[in-house]
Structure 1
Amino acid sequence: MLSLPRHTIGWVVSTSLAGATLGSFTGGSLADKFGRTRTFILDAAPLAVGAFLSATAQDIRTMIIGRLLAGIGIGISSALVPLYISEISPTEIRGTLGSVNQLFICIGILAALLAGLPLAGNPAWWRTMFGIAVVPSILLAVGMAFSPESPRWLFQQGKVIQAESAVKRLYGKEMVTEIMYDLRASGQSSSETEAGWFDLFSKRYWKVVSVGAALFLFQQLAGINAVVYYSTSVFRNAGITSDVAASALVGAANVFGTMVASSLMDKQGRKSLLMTSFSGMGASMLLLALSFTWKALAPYSGILAVVGTVLYVLSFALGAGPVPALLLPEIFASRIRAKAVALSLGMHWVSNFFIGLYFLSVVNKFGISNVYLGFASVCVLAVLYIAGNVVETKGRSLEEIERELSVAE
């Protein structure tokens, strides 16, 4: 068994986040250069090798290298999956398919939790868990080898015939003329040079790119990781002594909320779900803060804290969790889409890293109730920002959205 001191465990975890940040920023350039499907196939390499090295590590150096590689793979896929889904999905179900990505992330987290149950009786089980992760990495490469390339990327590269073939595979031959007309009408063909990173900060694109970065910052600064981190202690205070049971309840709430979001995404729209989600998160944070400080609620503080935690996770899963990764590929112009999504996801991983690094220090200085009130304030700011800056994309093709935002600019 690989025995690690506590501070070294922190480094191992942080290495994964650092790798994810690096992978997220590089994923956009790889997707633009090699295409979406080939980048998926390339991404399988760090995912599989990273999992294998982590499973077989006999020293800390090998473990850190393995976690770094796995993190890079996770970062690339986190930017690539929503990008690919948005570019190949039919308009009328694009929101549902996009939110399914978040749903399976939640299911994966819950499955990983359950897969960890044997650790109590077999301390070396973690090697098996890492080893199992090699299998989906290989399946990813095999599956994407037979999947159609994004017709929008092909058209952007001037590969019109291949784009028509991809459209036919995805939607049927009766849709080829209509979709190819939309692609030509969008004006984003190979006549424009490939966008560079500095183009994201140009006057033409900065406003919409800033919306993407802001949504992921609000997502992280609204306190989701803090709530998950504190959930086990909250549940213990309420009499639920099993950490696994507490985490499973939080995970189940996340899965259920995301399932509801999937069913509403193409009916209620992205913007309304985001505003409802952050409003519910803010109210839940206020309930959590009051349950810790309001003396009149002291007899019920345990159960109120549990209710606040579950309601927060449900609210998060309704919008703040699934919507940003779905919405951003929809609002970014095809010329900058891959890099802009990568930049926004990079902000997600960077903020995630620093929140994890400084969260406990902030709690020790200001107290958990004041921190929760701060998170509630962020939720209020998020609602106001979304109301004034986010456009609704429900029921509209990517080309329609792009033309409208181009006119607005």
Structure 2
Amino acid sequence: MGAVGAVVADRRPLRIPAFRRLWVSSIVTALGSQLTAVAVPKQIYDITGSSAYVGLTGLFGLVPLLVFGLWGGAIADTVDRRVLLLVSNIGIALAALLLWAQAFVGLDSVWVVLALLSVNQAFFAINMPTRQAVVARVVPEHLLPSAAALTGTMATFGAVFGPMLAGALLPVVGLSTLYLVDTLALVAVLWAVWKLPPLPPLSGKIRAAGLRDVLQGFRYLATQKVLLASFVVDVVAMVAGMPRALFPEMAERTFGDPPGGGTALGWLYAGIPLGALLLGLMSGWAHRIGRHGVAVAVSIGVWGLAMVGFGLAQSLWLAVFFLALGGVADMVSAIFRQAILQQATTDEMRGRMQGTFTVVVAGGPRLADMTHGWAAAAVGTSAATAGGGVLVVIGVVVAVALLPAFWRYRAPTEAKPS
């Protein structure tokens, strides 16, 4: 029993009703959101036949993430977080509904798709730091790595099976239906958020958030070198090493999918989260690791090497293996970066730091969409992907050398169980 508990995911956070509601609600949305994540780049590639245009999804997703991620985190520190979750979830659902409408009527406009993607990402950027700040509020400190593992596991569950489902459904029901399923899933999650208890600021003072609050967050981050380093190494990993913008082109030209979409596309999108899901299910050891900085740095190095292997692979199943290996490394990094963030941040700054985390975690891949899309147009998909992996390895070594406090960082002793 003890040996099993040391390996499988630690389920103790699920005994907390508020966390359990958030976690259960994510089961539905984890699948639905990935259908849209596949449908948007696929629709743009179908319209244009260009990975460079697919790369524009990075730009149109990044700008609202930068603005609303930082501002949304500040709002989460000054209002009832339950109410903010409700409002932002409604906004995401409406954006998904409009994406379905434009695809259903056949507008075939890249700019309409990109504009609606921007709206979707604006509400997402408010929702994510709020949700994570709620977790840190309701889960005891020593269980935060376990909560991060459970949350990441459910997200990767959707990221594995959502793209595979999308690849299977595309030839049967058409692309617009993927958006519709996501809309229905987002509506379902509103019930779980409604059942959460009120979560006003601990000070009891609810007020509007402005630029001053955002700047206070930056000043706070500047004094927290370990937090800053955790953001820097993740930017290195994602911007240089995330090749997802190339999946539609590689599915057709490298791995033989038909033009209308097929199983290779689904497997490519599922590869990284598949590895992350397997790691999450076997994450019972996570709360016993004290050297969080070392765990993050080493896992990011492994991520870079895995992307080199993926870029050089000519077999679909070898490519999926390297993507899954990258997913394992990314999940390890995510668990300990989230634990560092939640343990080292005060509650009155937690929303703002989670907003910055959202900008980094979600914004980095969007920058990668642009850089990989344009690089592939110039040198090909293989060189763009493998070269990015090499840059990740070099970048994380340089970052650790410049920020040695991160390598030495250990979890607070009071954060670990006796």
Q: Would the TM-score normalized by the shorter structure come out above 0.5? A: yes
5+ residue gaps, structure 2, are: 1-42, 257-261
1:397 Cα deviation after fit: 5.2
Paired residue type of 1:278: I
Task: Tell me if the contact between 2:267 and 2:320 (Cα under 8 Å) persists in the aligned partners.
Answer: no
Deviations 1:329-368 (CA, angstroms, capped at 9, x unpaired): 3222333221122123223444333221122433535934
2:92 to 25, 38, 47: 47
Partners of 2:356 and 2:94 in 1: CA distance: 25
Partners of 2:242 and 2:390 in 1: CA distance: 13
Secondary structure in 1 matching 2:275: helix
1:90 Cα deviation after fit: 1.7
Partners of 1:221 and 1:41 in 2: CA distance: 31
1:376 Cα deviation after fit: 2.0
1:302 Cα deviation after fit: 8.8
1:382 Cα deviation after fit: 4.8
Partners of 2:55 and 2:387 in 1: CA distance: 26
2:156 to 92, 106, 113: 106
2:285 to 248, 256, 264: 264
Larger radius of gyration: 1
Secondary structure in 1 matching 2:411: coil
Percentage identity across paired residues of the two chains: 10
Which residue number corresponds to residue 196 of structure 1? 213
Which residue number corresponds to residue 324 of structure 2? 310
Does residue 195 of structure 2 align to residue 146 of structure 1? yes
Which residue number corresponds to residue 225 of structure 1? 243
Higher mean C-alpha displacement, 301-310 vs 274-283? 301-310
Deviations 1:273-302 (CA, angstroms, capped at 9, x unpaired): 31331242244356568x68xxxxxxx999
Partners of 2:155 and 2:115 in 1: CA distance: 24
Does residue 173 of structure 2 align to residue 122 of structure 1? yes
Which residue number corresponds to residue 80 of structure 2? 35
Task: Tell me if the contact between 1:231 and 1:309 (Cα under 8 Å) persists in the aligned partners.
Answer: no
Task: Tell me if the contact between 2:89 and 2:190 (Cα under 8 Å) persists in the aligned partners.
Answer: yes
Give the 3 Å change call, closer, same or farther, for CA 349–336 of structure 1 in structure 2: same
Deviations 1:246-282 (CA, angstroms, capped at 9, x unpaired): 544444223112333x423211143343133124224
1:218 Cα deviation after fit: 2.9
1:308 Cα deviation after fit: 4.0
Which residue number corresponds to residue 156 of structure 1? 203
Which residue number corresponds to residue 345 of structure 1? 358
Task: Tell me if the contact between 2:76 and 2:129 (Cα under 8 Å) persists in the aligned partners.
Answer: no
1:198 Cα deviation after fit: 2.1
2:234 to 196, 216, 230: 216
Does residue 402 of structure 2 align to residue 379 of structure 1? no
Task: Tell me if the contact between 1:41 and 1:140 (Cα under 8 Å) persists in the aligned partners.
Answer: no
Which residue number corresponds to residue 74 of structure 1? 124
Partners of 1:146 and 1:234 in 2: CA distance: 48
Partners of 2:250 and 2:396 in 1: CA distance: 19
Secondary structure in 1 matching 2:285: helix
Give the 3 Å change call, closer, same or farther, for CA 22–235 of structure 1 in structure 2: same
Task: Tell me if the contact between 1:234 and 1:302 (Cα under 8 Å) persists in the aligned partners.
Answer: no
1:148 Cα deviation after fit: 2.4
Paired residue type of 1:221: V
Paired residue type of 2:189: L
1:380 Cα deviation after fit: 2.7
Paired residue type of 2:92: L
Which one has more relative contact order, counting CA pairs under 8 Å at least 6 apart? 2
Report the TM-score, using the length of structure 1 for normalisation.
0.70
1:19 to 44, 64, 78: 64
Partners of 1:63 and 1:301 in 2: CA distance: 32
1:4 to 47, 51, 56: 47
Partners of 1:197 and 1:256 in 2: CA distance: 37
1:131 Cα deviation after fit: 1.6
RMSD between aligned residues? 3.9
Partners of 1:67 and 1:23 in 2: CA distance: 14
Which residue number corresponds to residue 3 of structure 2? none
Partners of 1:242 and 1:38 in 2: CA distance: 41
Higher mean C-alpha displacement, 98-107 vs 360-369? 360-369
Which residue number corresponds to residue 165 of structure 1? none
Partners of 2:133 and 2:405 in 1: CA distance: 25
Give the 3 Å change call, closer, same or farther, for CA 212–250 of structure 1 in structure 2: closer
Give the 3 Å change call, closer, same or farther, for CA 203–316 of structure 1 in structure 2: closer
Which residue number corresponds to residue 134 of structure 1? 183
Partners of 1:203 and 1:210 in 2: CA distance: 10
Paired residue type of 1:127: S
Give the 3 Å change call, closer, same or farther, for CA 308–112 of structure 1 in structure 2: closer
Query: Where do residues 328-367 of structure 1 align in structure 2 (5 Å cutoff)?
Result: 328-363=341-376, 364-365=378-379, 367=383
Secondary structure in 1 matching 2:126: helix
Give the 3 Å change call, closer, same or farther, for CA 81–386 of structure 1 in structure 2: farther
Partners of 2:370 and 2:221 in 1: CA distance: 35
Task: Tell me if the contact between 1:285 and 1:308 (Cα under 8 Å) persists in the aligned partners.
Answer: yes
Paired residue type of 1:141: L
Higher mean C-alpha displacement, 114-123 vs 346-355? 346-355
Partners of 1:14 and 1:195 in 2: CA distance: 26
